[in-house]
Amino acid sequence: MELGHVVVLAGGLSYEREVSLRSGRRVTDALRALDIPVELRDADATLLDSLGDDPPDAVFPVLHGAAGEDGSIRDVLDLLDVRYVGARPDSCRVAWDKPTAKSVVRRAGLRTPESVALPKEVFHDLGAASVLDQIIRGLGLPLFVKPTRGGSALGASVVREPSELSAAMVGCFAYGDAALVERYVEGTEIAVSVIERHGQPQALPAVEIVAAGGRYDYTARYDAGDTEFVTPARLTADAAERATAAAVTAHRALGLRDLSRTDLIVDADGEVHFLEVNVAPGMTETSLLPRAVSVAGLDLGEVCRDLIVAQFD
């Protein structure tokens, strides 16, 4: 079909606003290269009037962080009866909450690190020192601490010594009111993106992440040159197959649609461990899904166009 008016939705007011804008520009440029009429719009107070006055054929959301990935913007698009690429609101809400997503994929048969999810109030009510001691006794070391909701590794850190846990929790709570503390799994960090083609989820080649200093933090993710990306990942054939299957299983178990990116660790024995899933993967020049698209021999603009056209099937 011929698309007459597409809106790429980016920006918003989350901590990941700048990354979202970069993603939006990348998708917009990729679609314009195919001569598709496309407009890049921010998620601001003018958006709803704009969509109402000039309804687009479809919206391609690349909003990261809260609102963009928790289902709320998609709820509004449903109220407006506007077609959009990506998961429905209910599925977004499940995937956005990391402890809930871990429970869902565990029931679907995936391995995921043992963890606890604790709101800030628990530390206040029960005493921070006592809670921290119990976390270390229960889970051991090393640990990985991150907000239960959010992305781009904001507020996330590795804890290798007991003395580091308190600072890690403070850093985590700067970006959210609840922390997910999980047992840290040593291994190869990979991301497997999934796109739907002809109605079926298809895993793209795994991207291996080798961050300078071993920390794939916000800077390492978005500053070119700070991280080495190896695609396809340096895995055995069996491990690569298990990683691919894990990403597709997570996509299906969480009820996602069109595209997703699953973050995994492959340990020394080749076992695959689910970490989290992203319903609005980054599309910047350093992002993982576009790298996988390229290695798979696909064109990013054509992939985005096909996902838009699929909304009319």
| Catalytic residue of the set 11, 65, 71, 282 | 282
Known catalytic residue: 276?
yes
Known catalytic residue: 271?
no
Known catalytic residue: 15?
no
| Catalytic residue of the set 208, 278, 287, 291 | 278
| Catalytic residue of the set 152, 157, 193, 287 | 152
| Catalytic residue of the set 15, 16, 242, 291 | 16
Pair type for strands 6-10 and 58-61: parallel
Known catalytic residue: 14?
no
What is the C-alpha to C-alpha distance for residues 57 and 222, in angstroms, rounded to an integer? 31
Angle at 193 between CA 190 and CA 196, to 5 degrees: 160
| Catalytic residue of the set 261, 287, 301, 305 | 261
- Please answer whether residues 178 and 120 qualify as being in contact, where contact means their C-beta atoms are separated by less than 8 angstroms: yes
Known catalytic residue: 263?
yes
Known catalytic residue: 278?
yes
Beta strand residue intervals within 140-258, DSSP E: 143-147, 157-159, 178-183, 188-197, 200-203, 207-211, 227-230
Residue 228 class from Cβ within 10 Å (0-12 exposed, 13-18 middle, 19+ buried)? exposed
Known catalytic residue: 261?
yes
Tokens 């985590």 sit at which residue?
A: 172
| Catalytic residue of the set 84, 175, 216, 222 | 222
Q: Which residues pair with residue 38 across a beta bridge? A: 6
User: Phi and psi dihedrals of 7, rounded to 5?
Assistant: -110, 125
| Catalytic residue of the set 276, 287, 291, 305 | 276
Known catalytic residue: 182?
no
Residue type, 291: R
Residues forming the active site: 16, 152, 222, 261, 263, 276, 278, 282
